[in-house]
Structure 1
């Protein structure tokens, strides 16, 4: 990068570190550290939670998806819009979860089921989370290595790539086509022709640049969490989110300055190969991984496992009240458009510049050669796929914008890592250690215990990134590692909040099936080439015939292309996620019904769980005496102000319009052609479709950025004012007594006295 780019990144990093240090003064209790004392407003939550979910690794994952699938990757997400609108507008899960006042999901599990479920879920969630989190530092560090052009310093052996040898005593011998070349400590590898070599070495390779980057980036993230817990995380994520909003819009403008729509659509239409279109979503069955099934499973999983993933769990507990939590989720769907536009257009722009024909063919060939040359230095094919777009961007973006985008990725790395470190570190203490404590920690002891746990998580993910070899797309890795917990926890969360008959045994069974299916998938995928296929081929060839027959049956479904392959197990992580959900959901419902209707198990006290009726806490509900249920829960309630209703109906209108467009387009391009009518759009029609969709979204993005910045700054000011005067309750630390938080002891006693008085009067 240019010196100007480095200067910009440095200034921004120093500023955000100073802000994290400033928030330290507001962290005075466990509730402050874990949930920002529950005083965050909707805009602050929407922006900061969005930034926490962005992540450098998430951006790279989106780059992979859109580089392979083009615009078609967003089409099937339109099918999720009705589900999304039901979830966000109704406050699905988040509203009732916030009513429980739990600080973690597993604390809610103890309140709803039992201490055993809390501990079991806490351990499962923690293991699933830190394994899933394990590759984050690796992907982020590699991004900065290749995007910034940071020299690689290797201790020991070298792979074919640039950098320097820094080993003081090793001699590395390379055998090239023209003979033997000896390379010694201190030699610059970038000056040598290392494009096609084999080599011998003295030790295993140690990439000092890679290690130093991971350590430095993790240290900054740890500093943020240590300074102020959730307060520091949320405030810094908010400021980073504002900067990211602005830079994303600038990048989108640059792409359309660099390429006009005709260039984009014509080049995308030139991609040949049946089932691999980047414009026509009905011609994508052969795109590796990211076909319609990937998105349909995502939609199904979104409903059943909503809020199951706890990477940003503190945000679910940080809202002022349940209504603010609900509104933050509604606003979140608007916020997401800005991120999607940039992460979609950047890889598509890179693909277009590398594949142009006509007048741009020569420059496209040159760019492709540069990118391929840089990728040849990377030995791992999965890492090559991850770094293709970042390396292309270094050739595309001008000075200034390159630095701004690097800062965005740095902020994305920090925001996700500090949030995840906070979440997984907190979950271990709150849900694995705390349930065994009879006497609570002092606030100081509790906060330091949380910090030590967070530090351990940082150490684990550093070591995991150092040694784990990635073998599949990032999003597929997310799906299968996430399913260890989320696949089984989804039914436990949703039905626990909405169904009084859910039982402890049903919850334990659901959690167990979720991890069992996910673990089976991981074992099959990681050991298929080296263990399972060779063993079956040698000792049980009939099992290979069974697998082949099963895959043949599945290929009868459109878009499924599973085939027996000795190199790779054909069922990816997304499908194992689906299998885990279906089995867990079926088991939870079946066992609960048997225990309730056959064994006569009593139902749960939902009013106590949700702080309703005699257990009501007035501050948690704005005006409504009782939150609406059923179809009324989807519509604006008395808690909605006039502005809230404008936001609600604006969101509804936008989603409704695009869902209607989706239905019409799907009818014309799939249903009617299957009946013999020629109504499909063709590449020209789809190019026009995407032009309208993209430019309409960009206009809305500009309005959203201005609106959210103003609202978010007001929320941050309000939160600091509240924290300055708030009275802390040392009992508010996540401990549960007799099915309720210990903070609610007096509330429960009062409710029980009222109930006893009522029974006496009736008698």
Structure 2
């Protein structure tokens, strides 16, 4: 990058640090530090959540996944989006959570299930899963910057050879702590909103550059069409042979989105809303907030596919003056430098890689591609064959393949973006890295403090000591992030890894949260059954995945059990072919992360229901939700269902809605259900049932629905949310200044003997 690019990065980051330090004056109590005083408006929550939710790891992971599946599977994924909108419109879980006024998940669990030990156990389990899952965020982001900026894996300082990876991870985590320490949730919310507002124009610039430099008709569509039967990148009726990210993965995502709606709730912005209604409206606005963000993520993935597999870019006589072959060779060399310590072995592998283009015939370049045979396959074969077939060699190959697939996006983008654009994209990645890391460190440290450490105190904890404890715990969590980032290798697709790690908590958490908020029958016995069956299954699956290539498969080989188990797995999975296909593989565990996660959720749901009914005792839900005789003010009269109000009640409109709120709710419903489901999904499904579309028609469909319509929505939402975000930020400062602190409101659940 040039000095101009570095200036584009440094100035906004310095401004963010100043804003974070300035916000310290507003953190006067625990509620301020944990929940921004519960006075945040809908737009600051929504824009802040955009920055906190969008991360470097999500961009890399989506590019990696999209490289395997293209557009086709996402057509069926259209079903999941309106479900999320419906849950947001009705306030499913979020509204009731805000009514509980709990400052953490553990506080809710102790109140709902009456067990302090259960609170501490679940908080520890969630924190461990959250820590390991999120700790790969800095690891992936650090690798991103190493490959994007062309940094070496090792640098020499005063004669000492230091790994560049460790230095960058440490700097990233220190920067995250700078944003957490001053005022916790306040500084995070304000800086995340600022980053979100700054990101909107960058999204527009990146999207515009890609559209101007890659033709849909001449570059993108031909590449997407060049796929074998059963693995189409465009035709959703021709995806039966896709593995891992397929239709079954969408079913699991759909099931999890309902069951685990409240799984991560607690130490995020879900408790920062001014009122339960304002919190609900922030969720409703989530349908519009992404704007150009989703479009940019999609186009980055499309550019990687187009450049790395398109015939126009196989030679360096293109507008970017570099070929896909050169990028593959450079990428392989950089990955091998990190993965293979032996210099002689590395040189031998690279020699085999440099021979690959010479062996390719025109027919091989032109033939349709698949997951099994594509332009990357010769590189994988060369590395695997040269390394050998020992357990250590298999492990090295796993690491090579994972890094190669993950780092393809930054390797391509760094070669095709011009001066200025390189700096803007780097700034965006830095902001997304910081906004994600600081939020995840804060969430984990808050859970540890509120639900593991705080219950150990018998009496009321002083505010100043409590705030210091929260800050010190965030430092400890950052150190844990550092340790995990350094020593915990990620060997699968990023989204697969995140799925199995989250399943350690989400595999058993869904029923205890959803039924805890909505049922009177759920109890502690059912909750324990849910955690033991769901999370236990996920833990077992993780152990097998982590140790498969290096120890478990070699042990099974020695015992002569490979063929027997292969026959068993194929027989069990046969009824679900082609969506689920299990067979023995020396490198990868046969059951993927989505399949393990689904099994965990089904077992946890059954365990919760059976366990609760066997020991049934009704729970006083009104007290938990501050309703009825426990309400601070008389409840508004219930509106009876009539023909005139049935529609508004179905989408969650209540007396709290203003005219503007109703317009937002109806627009979200219209866009999601009428356009996305009714027109873009149901109408097309009916049409194809009667008369199937040719593949060329699908290129037009995705051009309109993935580029044209999102561009129009993005232009409107960019202006809308920038205005709303600025207004709500100003109001947040005013409301924090006026807020009266309650020292007893700190998340502790004290018995009479404790108080």
Provide the TM-score with structure 2 as the length reference: 0.86
User: In 2, Cα distance between the equivalents of 1:225 and 1:145?
Assistant: 25
Residues 187-227 of structure 1, C-alpha deviations (whole Å, 9 max, x = no match): xxxxxxxxxxxxxxxxxxx7521111111111110011001
User: In 1, Cα distance between the equivalents of 2:291 and 2:600?
Assistant: 30
Check conservation: 1:90, 1:634, Cα contact below 8 A.
yes
The residue that corresponds to 1:658 in the other structure is 676
The residue that corresponds to 1:378 in the other structure is 335
User: In 2, Cα distance between the equivalents of 1:428 and 1:400?
Assistant: 42
User: How far off is 1:709 after superposition?
Assistant: 1.0
User: In 2, Cα distance between the equivalents of 1:614 and 1:264?
Assistant: 66
What is the DSSP-based 3-state SS (H/G/I as helix, E as strand, rest coil) of the residue aligned with 2:133? helix
User: How far off is 1:666 after superposition?
Assistant: 3.2
CA 1:258–1:587: 2 relative to 1, 3 Å: same
Matched, 1:554 2:509: no
User: How far off is 1:536 after superposition?
Assistant: 2.2
1:537-552 matches, within 5 Å, as 537-539=557-559, 541=561, 544-552=563-571
User: In 2, Cα distance between the equivalents of 1:294 and 1:47?
Assistant: 29
Check conservation: 2:569, 2:582, Cα contact below 8 A.
no
Check conservation: 1:547, 1:564, Cα contact below 8 A.
yes
Check conservation: 1:107, 1:734, Cα contact below 8 A.
yes
What is the DSSP-based 3-state SS (H/G/I as helix, E as strand, rest coil) of the residue aligned with 1:212? helix
Matched, 1:274 2:222: no
Matched, 1:604 2:619: yes
The residue that corresponds to 2:388 in the other structure is none
The residue that corresponds to 1:614 in the other structure is 629
User: In 1, Cα distance between the equivalents of 2:611 and 2:262?
Assistant: 23
Check conservation: 1:233, 1:418, Cα contact below 8 A.
yes
User: In 1, Cα distance between the equivalents of 2:30 and 2:267?
Assistant: 15
Q: Of 214, 235, 246, which aligns to 2:169?
A: 214
Q: Of 298, 301, 321, which aligns to 1:347?
A: 301
User: In 2, Cα distance between the equivalents of 1:80 and 1:644?
Assistant: 24
The residue that corresponds to 2:652 in the other structure is 635
What is the DSSP-based 3-state SS (H/G/I as helix, E as strand, rest coil) of the residue aligned with 1:135? helix
The residue that corresponds to 2:714 in the other structure is 701
User: In 2, Cα distance between the equivalents of 1:272 and 1:304?
Assistant: 35
Residues 690-699 or 554-563, more deviating? 554-563
Q: Of 283, 308, 313, which aligns to 2:267?
A: 313
The residue that corresponds to 2:484 in the other structure is 464
Unaligned stretches of 5+ residues in structure 2: 337-399
User: In 2, Cα distance between the equivalents of 1:327 and 1:363?
Assistant: 52
Residues 660-669 or 85-94, more deviating? 660-669
User: In 1, Cα distance between the equivalents of 2:53 and 2:725?
Assistant: 17
User: How far off is 1:738 after superposition?
Assistant: 5.2
User: In 1, Cα distance between the equivalents of 2:662 and 2:684?
Assistant: 30
User: In 1, Cα distance between the equivalents of 2:607 and 2:304?
Assistant: 46
The residue that corresponds to 1:356 in the other structure is 310
Check conservation: 2:459, 2:750, Cα contact below 8 A.
no
Q: Of 282, 299, 306, which aligns to 1:328?
A: 282
What is the DSSP-based 3-state SS (H/G/I as helix, E as strand, rest coil) of the residue aligned with 1:227? coil
Q: Of 701, 712, 721, which aligns to 1:689?
A: 701
Check conservation: 1:112, 1:609, Cα contact below 8 A.
yes
The residue that corresponds to 2:324 in the other structure is 368
Residues 104-134 of structure 1, C-alpha deviations (whole Å, 9 max, x = no match): 1121111111223211211111111111122
User: In 2, Cα distance between the equivalents of 1:296 and 1:146?
Assistant: 34
Residues 73-82 or 24-33, more deviating? 73-82
Check conservation: 2:509, 2:531, Cα contact below 8 A.
yes
Q: Of 495, 501, 523, which aligns to 1:503?
A: 523
1:718-757 matches, within 5 Å, as 718-737=731-750
User: In 2, Cα distance between the equivalents of 1:382 and 1:727?
Assistant: 52
Residues 257-294 of structure 1, C-alpha deviations (whole Å, 9 max, x = no match): 11222124433334232333221223233444211211
User: In 2, Cα distance between the equivalents of 1:86 and 1:335?
Assistant: 16
User: How far off is 1:719 after superposition?
Assistant: 1.0
What is the DSSP-based 3-state SS (H/G/I as helix, E as strand, rest coil) of the residue aligned with 2:64? helix
User: How far off is 1:168 after superposition?
Assistant: 4.5
User: In 2, Cα distance between the equivalents of 1:551 and 1:317?
Assistant: 47
User: In 2, Cα distance between the equivalents of 1:625 and 1:231?
Assistant: 35
Residues 529-538 or 710-719, more deviating? 529-538
User: In 2, Cα distance between the equivalents of 1:39 and 1:429?
Assistant: 22
User: How far off is 1:387 after superposition?
Assistant: 0.7
The residue that corresponds to 2:239 in the other structure is 284
Q: Of 490, 496, 500, which aligns to 1:476?
A: 496
User: How far off is 1:628 after superposition?
Assistant: 9.2
Check conservation: 1:142, 1:210, Cα contact below 8 A.
yes
The residue that corresponds to 1:149 in the other structure is 150
Provide the TM-score with structure 1 as the length reference: 0.85
User: In 1, Cα distance between the equivalents of 2:463 and 2:563?
Assistant: 58
Residues 545-573 of structure 1, C-alpha deviations (whole Å, 9 max, x = no match): 24433334424423223322122112111
Check conservation: 1:269, 1:683, Cα contact below 8 A.
no
Check conservation: 2:91, 2:652, Cα contact below 8 A.
no
CA 1:616–1:571: 2 relative to 1, 3 Å: same
Matched, 1:257 2:212: yes
What is the DSSP-based 3-state SS (H/G/I as helix, E as strand, rest coil) of the residue aligned with 1:237? helix
User: In 1, Cα distance between the equivalents of 2:608 and 2:580?
Assistant: 29
**Count of aligned pairs between the two proteins:** 678
1:3-22 matches, within 5 Å, as 3-22=3-22
Q: Of 185, 193, 196, which aligns to 1:230?
A: 185
User: In 2, Cα distance between the equivalents of 1:461 and 1:652?
Assistant: 40
Check conservation: 2:34, 2:446, Cα contact below 8 A.
yes
User: How far off is 1:247 after superposition?
Assistant: 0.8
The residue that corresponds to 1:76 in the other structure is 76
The residue that corresponds to 1:300 in the other structure is 255
Q: Of 423, 435, 454, which aligns to 1:434?
A: 454
Unaligned stretches of 5+ residues in structure 1: 155-164, 170-205, 743-763
User: How far off is 1:254 after superposition?
Assistant: 1.1
User: How far off is 1:540 after superposition?
Assistant: 5.2
Q: Of 583, 592, 602, which aligns to 1:582?
A: 602
- RMSD value, Cα: 2.3
Check conservation: 1:66, 1:73, Cα contact below 8 A.
no
Check conservation: 2:9, 2:427, Cα contact below 8 A.
yes
CA 1:341–1:29: 2 relative to 1, 3 Å: same
User: In 2, Cα distance between the equivalents of 1:697 and 1:306?
Assistant: 26
Matched, 1:33 2:48: no
User: How far off is 1:89 after superposition?
Assistant: 0.7
Matched, 1:455 2:455: no
